[in-house]
Amino acid sequence: MRVHVADHPLIAHKLTALRDKDTDSPTFRRLADELVTLLAYEATRDVRVEPVDIVTPVAPTRGIKLASPKPLVVPILRAGLGMLDGMVRLLPTAEVGFLGMVRNEETLEATTYANRLPDDLSGRQCYVLDPMLATGGTLAAAIRYLVDLGADDITAITLLAAPEGTARLEEQIADLKVPVTIVTGAMDERLNEHGYIVPGLGDAGDRLYGVV
Ligand code: URA
């Protein structure tokens, strides 16, 4: 598993505002959206492409286009939805699948409660969106789910990550044979006893959509 912390001043600047407890939901949503576009730029460095011949107004030339099959973007419901627009802005031809996962706040185990994905992901490059890599349980379950359907290259984009969760995720998917990359806006200090990232930004789903 490869972990890439996208430490860019614009990312750090937007993350600072996102973390602030006084940032309201509309601003939080806008910042998360902007951040994802910056992270997506980093995360798509290895997106698969194929050559294409075109003619400019001046001369024929060879360029590239996104390869088939198209990449699949998979936001993890609910908080990952807040990252979807920012991602597809950069990858407008990608297909989108949905995976609903919920974390039991006592055991911190993740379970799947909804799935709208193609049956066969053979040969597909997948981009998983989940704002917080905390204990790693949700991402591990999501990545395993996609690999079981045939995905052969997975990049997860998170706004924040915790070192313990990143290490645990690596252990939990160590047996998988597909390349997995994590792209995150920052690696925070630690997890607290409730499984929250410290300093973090609180509950990403609640801050995006309210406490429901
Ligand atoms: N999920 C969140 O939304 N925030 C955390 O800090 C950890 C998990």
Q: Whose CA is nearest to atom 3 of ligand 1?
A: 203
Pick from 109, 160, 196 the residue to mutate for probing ligand 1's pocket: most ligand atoms within 8 Å of its CB: 196
Is 134 touching ligand 1 by the criterion CB < 6 Å?
yes
In this predicted model, what pLDDT tens digit does every residue of 168-211 receive, in sequence order?
999 999 999 999 999 999 999 999 999 999 999 999 999 999 87
User: Which residue shows structure tokens 């936001």?
Assistant: 75
Q: Whose CA is nearest to atom 7 of ligand 1?
A: 196
Rounded distance, CA 185 to CA 6, Å? 5
Global pTM reads 0.94
Q: Which of 52-61, 100-109, 149-158, 175-184 has the lowest mean pLDDT?
A: 100-109
What's the CA-to-centroid distance between 192 and ligand 1, angstroms?
10
- ipTM value of the model? 0.96
Has residue 111 got a pLDDT over 90?
Answer: no
Give the number of the atom of ligand 1 that is nearest the alpha carbon of residue 200: 6
What's the CA-to-centroid distance between 135 and ligand 1, angstroms?
9
Is 203 touching ligand 1 by the criterion CB < 6 Å?
yes
Residues belonging to the active site = 103, 107, 203, 206
Determine contact, residues 211/187, Cβ cutoff 8 Å.
no
Rounded distance, CA 121 to CA 115, Å? 14
CATH number of 2-45+70-209: 3.40.50.2020
Which pLDDT value is given to residue 103? Answer: 74
Pick from 104, 201, 212 the residue to mutate for probing ligand 1's pocket: most ligand atoms within 8 Å of its CB: 201
Determine contact, residues 132/142, Cβ cutoff 8 Å.
no
In this predicted model, what pLDDT tens digit does every residue of 58-102 receive, in sequence order?
999 999 999 999 999 999 998 999 999 999 999 999 999 999 988
3 state SS of 64 = strand
Residue 26 binned pLDDT confidence (cut-offs 50, 70, 90): very high
Domain boundaries, the chain: 2-45+70-209
